[in-house]
Structure formats: C-alpha cells, structure tokens
Amino acid sequence: MASATVAREALLDVRNPRTGEVDLRLPISSRVEVADKAARLRAAQPAWEAMGVGGRCAAMARWLGAVRARAADIGEADAVDTGGCHTSYLQGFITMRNVAGWLEDAPKAFESLKWEGVSISMPTVAVESQVVAYPLVGVISPWNAPLMLALLDAVPALFAGSAVLLKPSEVTPRVIETLFATVREVPELAAVFDYVTGPGEVGQAVIAEADTICFTGSVPTGRKVAVACAERLIPCNLELGGKDPCIVTASADLNRAATAVLRGAVYATGQVCYSIERVYVDKSVHDAFVAKLVEKARAVRLNSDNPRAGHIGPFTFAPQAEIVKRHLADAVAKGATIVTGGEIEDIGGGLYLRPTILTGVNHDMLIMQDETFGPCIPVMAYRDTEEAIRLANDTSFGLTASVIAGDAEEARAIGRRINAGGIFLQDTFLTFAKLRTFGSDSFGWSGYGSPRIGPESLRRFLRRKSLLTQTGPVADIQNDHHLGQGR
Ligand code: NAD
C-alpha cells in the first residue's frame, strides 16, 4: 500500500541580530498562497475604492487609533528585528505621523486632480477627469527600517483606493506581524491590506499578481524587479541604494561639520540608504577636521549591553558585516589608513563595528564606489571646489548629498551642482524634513519612477481617465467640421 505523503511546509529561519541565534521560524508563502491572497484583496478592493477618499480617511483614522494604542509594541518588535537602532523604538510614532499626514493630504491630492471644462481644440466637447486606483499594489521592502520602508508606499496606496500586498524582507519579518495586529482591528482595512512572507521568490510571486510595484532595496535586486515588471508591462517604482557624499569647505565650522558628518554616517550603524558614505574636505582643513571627527567618533558607544542605551547597534543582516570587511580590506590594500575603528566585534553573537574613519582614500577603492552600508567614514582631501564637485558626482548613484560650508550661500552654490535628489546644506540627514512638503527624484542608480514622498506621491497609485462628451452635432465622414475649429 502506498504511504500517504504530507508536503512539508517550507520555513524561513529568522536570525536575531543581537544574539546571532535563529529564534523564529515562519512559514514561507507558496505561489498558491500569494495568488489566493492577491485574489481576495482584488475582490475587496472595489468596495474600498467606492468608499471615496472621505470614507477611507475615516477607516484610516480608526487604524491610527489602533496604532497609537500599540505604538510601544511596534517599536519593540522593530528593535528586535533590527538589533535596536535609535529609530526602531520610534516606529510606532513614525507610523502614526505617516497615517496622520495622509489624512490631511489625501483629500487635497484628490481635489487637485479634479478637472472639468471644455476642450480647447474641439469647443463642442466637454471634458471631465476621473481618477481610478490601480487595484492591487505590490510592495517589496528591505531589512533596514523594515516598518517605515514598508509603509512609506503602502499607506498612500491605501489612501489612493488600492489594495496592497506587502512582501517584507525575510531578514526582518517580525515587526510586520505586530503591525498587522492593528490592521485587523479595522475590518475594511484588513480586507485590502495583507502580507506574505519569504525570500526573493515570494517577491517575484507578488510581481506576478500585482498591477504596479513599489520596490525598496539594492540595485541588483532592483534590476530583477524592473525586468519582471517589464515582462508584465506593469509600472514599477524603485528606491535603490546610495553612496552619498558630503563636502566640507575650508570656511566651514569644523566642529559643526564633524558632528553632522558623524551622525549622518553612523546613525543606525550606517544602514540607511542616505547615510554619508564619502566625505570630501578642503585640503587646508583636512587634518583638523579628521582630528575632530576622530575625537567625536571615539565617544560613540555600542548598544551591546542595552539596546536603548548606546548609539550603535549590531549589523541587522550578518552578511552585511562581510561586505563592510571586504571594503575595508580593499581600501587598506590600496593604501588607505584606518584611523579609528575597523574591527568587526562579535559580542554575544551580535556583530558590531565602531565608527570607522579612513584617510588616504581614492576612487579606485570599493569604499568610495560601492554602497558599504556600515558605520564607515572615508575622508578624502580636495584641492578646490571644482574638484570637490567632480568627485561628489563621480558615482553611479544620486540619492542625497550634503554640503557644509562657511555660510548657507556658499553651500547652496555647491549643492546646486551636485547630481542627487536631496541636497542637505549646513547639516546632514535632512530627509525627514521634506517628507510632507514635496518630493524629489533620485539620480542614477538610486531610483526609478516618480517621487515616493510629498503629496504627489499618491499619484503613483492612480490612473487618470478623461470623459469626453460631444455637446454639438456629430461630424459626418465627408465633412469633419470638428477638426480645425478650436485652438
Ligand atoms: P535586497 O535588494 O536584498 O532585498 C529587498 C527586498 O527584495 C527583500 O524583501 C527581498 O526579499 C526582495 N527580493 C530579493 N530578490 C528578489 C527578486 N528576485 N524579486 C523580487 N523581490 C526580491 O535589499 P536589502 O538588502 O533588503 O536592503 C538594503 C538595500 O536597500 C540597500 O541597497 C539600501 O540602500 C536600499 N534602500 C534604499 C532606500 C531608498 O529609499 N532609496 C531605502 C532603504 C534601503
């Protein structure tokens, strides 16, 4: 007699970044499960869209209340996923700000898209616009800032009237389940917002089901996502890596510059897409700047004893430590000097790196070309402003850049010539400052598609239709009087 075979469920091992132990195993969503979830979301989406932006705002306001009640749990879960970066504990609050911001902005965004009038070229034709949401938006997100980067696209998509199927990073899936406990408190929202778990193949399964994709992650994966979307002829929005420069001029306040550069480079262990990854300093102040930076860097504490206490957590994703190690070894082999830091420390299973400052670097080194994604600060001297701008622009990326000069005018003149989407003057890390007000494009390999922040980012999830009504007589084929009537 043939024995019955039971298919074994594929499991995802989730490593705890503080202990190095696999302390969670989650089922990997199969293609069939992804397709089933997509079908359920698709079936519920028309009712969500029919609620209108006002109805959706009412549901999202109830969700905001649920998030507020669980904000601390969300922060804790994010901290376990990431190893306890500063921002992790703020994730409940950041989610609330994101939703509250769209409660204000979404109705205005819809209002700004309304259009009614008469055709200029055919004056007997009345025109009105209609916007319709893409039914199913697929969101594929990375392991750094796992909640914020999942919701940056999902929240405006939901306000737009789309259903959303999220595929969070397989490295940091815990916070998503904590979040969905709040989603389930609002049944209308739970009907149109769901997630699946697993590695890249699950991301591909989402692309196979969705009507448009928002992807945040690395350049190599971004290329694969773009190809898969092109095969299906669906739009994709890609938010990719960075190699963001900071220029410090001779007239800059060096204390201010060192403070801003250190924070911009090592915040969240440097695992931020817009971390400062290259510093160019006027040669006349190079040594003085490095001395100040080193002094400040040596005061930075690891959070290995207490995740809430120190400044730098462990690497969230262990293989990232290997990439950082490779970049450091390559730089040293090509003549760079590590002035402070440089050793990956295994503390209780977590992999840590103290702020690592390098001098004597050049553009032949990986650390000046590829994304390092660690708390490393390579500092290079430049001769004059033209050289500084040339070096800053000598990159495949163009996410953000910073300029710290003697005054804002000097910084602005340099900043206007750098090819990047966000230019921070007299400080670093100002991305949050522009979230609500306006978006910006990414240059080079850093992105593709429309801006993901600012009020217009909601447009990515809407298609515009024109309804054209003939109010005059219809033309006959022999005498098409419509053409040539108007302007
Ligand atoms: P990654 O590219 O390895 O993975 C990102 C997501 O894509 C994960 O969910 C992964 O499972 C999924 N994926 C992997 N292969 C796939 C495939 N073939 N098809 C579909 N999905 C697939 O990136 P990561 O290491 O998780 O994240 C770090 C990267 O993200 C860095 O390069 C960083 O700069 C970038 N990032 C960019 C921004 C931005 O806004 N520009 C923000 C944060 C992070």
For 204-223, write each residue's pLDDT tens digit. 999 999 999 999 999 999 99
The predicted model gives 249-277 an average pLDDT of 97
Q: Which amino acid is at 370?
A: D
d(CA 52, CA 373): 41
pLDDT tens, residue by residue, 190-209:
999 999 999 999 999 999 99
Alpha carbon separation from 293 to 262, 287, 299, 422 (Å, rounded): 7, 10, 10, 24
pLDDT (tens digit per residue) in 3-62 = 445 555 799 999 999 999 999 999 999 999 999 999 999 999 999 999 999 999 999 999
Pocket, ligand 1, Cβ cutoff 6 A: 140-144, 149, 167, 169-170, 199-200, 203-204, 216-218, 221, 224-225, 239-242, 273, 371, 373, 399, 446-447
Distance CA 153, CA 206 (A): 15
pLDDT at residue 410, as a whole number: 98
| pLDDT band (50, 70, 90) for residue 428 | very high
Helix locations, 114-218, DSSP H? 146-160, 174-183, 187-190, 200-209
96-150 per-position pLDDT tens digit: 999 999 999 999 999 999 999 999 989 999 999 999 999 999 999 999 999 999 9
- Average pLDDT over the chain, rounded to whole? 94
Q: What percent of the chain has pLDDT over 70?
A: 96
Give the H/E segment covering residue 433: none
State CA 357 to chain mean position distance.
26
Question: Helical H runs in 340-446?
Answer: 385-393, 408-415
Q: Tell me which residue has its CA closest to atom 16 in ligand 1.
A: 200
Q: Quick check: is 273 catalytic? A: yes
Q: Reading across the β-sheet that carries 356-359, which strands appear in turn? A: 337-340, 356-359, 376-382, 276-282, 244-248, 400-404, 422-425
Ligand 1, atom 13, residue with closest C-alpha? 200
Identify the residue whose C-alpha is closest to ligand 1 atom 42.
Answer: 273
pLDDT in tens, 468-487: 999 999 988 887 766 666 66
Q: Is the pLDDT of residue 450 over 90?
A: no
Per-residue confidence at 434, pLDDT binned at 50, 70, 90?
low
Tokens of 87: 């921002």
Note the pLDDT of residue 2.
41
How much distance in Å is there from the Cα of 225 to the middle of ligand 1?
A: 10
Q: What is the pTM of this model?
A: 0.95
pLDDT at 414: 98
pLDDT of 231 over the 80 cut: yes
Confidence class of residue 1 from pLDDT cuts 50, 70 and 90?
A: very low
Region 428-443 average pLDDT: 80
Q: What average pLDDT score do residues 439-460 get?
A: 89
Burial status of residue 123 (CB atoms within 10 A of its CB: 0-12, 13-18, 19 or more): middle
| Strand order through the sheet with 136-140 | 193-195, 163-167, 136-140, 212-216, 236-239, 447-448
Residue 214: predicted pLDDT: 98
Residue nearest to atom 9 of ligand 1 (CA): 169
The residue among 268 and 450 whose pLDDT is bigger is 268
Tokens in use for 387? 């050289």
> What separation in Å is there between the alpha carbon of 113 and the centre of ligand 1?
32
Three-state SS at 358: strand
**Alpha-carbon distance 393 to 338, whole Å?**
24
- Report pLDDT digits (tens) over 310-364: 899 999 999 999 999 999 999 999 999 999 999 999 999 999 999 999 999 999 9
Which one is catalytic: 49, 170, 188, 239?
A: 239
CA distance 49 to 211: 15
Model confidence band, residue 84 (pLDDT cutoffs 50, 70, 90) = confident
Q: Amino acid identity, residue 26?
A: L
- Give the model's confidence band at 87: pLDDT under 50 very low, under 70 low, under 90 confident, else very high: confident
Q: Are 457 and 450 in contact (CB under 8 A)?
A: yes
Find how far residue 416's CA is from the centre of its chain: 23
Q: Tell me, what's the pLDDT at 483? A: 63
Domains of the chain (ranges; CATH) run 11-240+442-467 (3.40.605.10), 244-434 (3.40.309.10)
* Percent of the chain surpassing pLDDT 90: 88
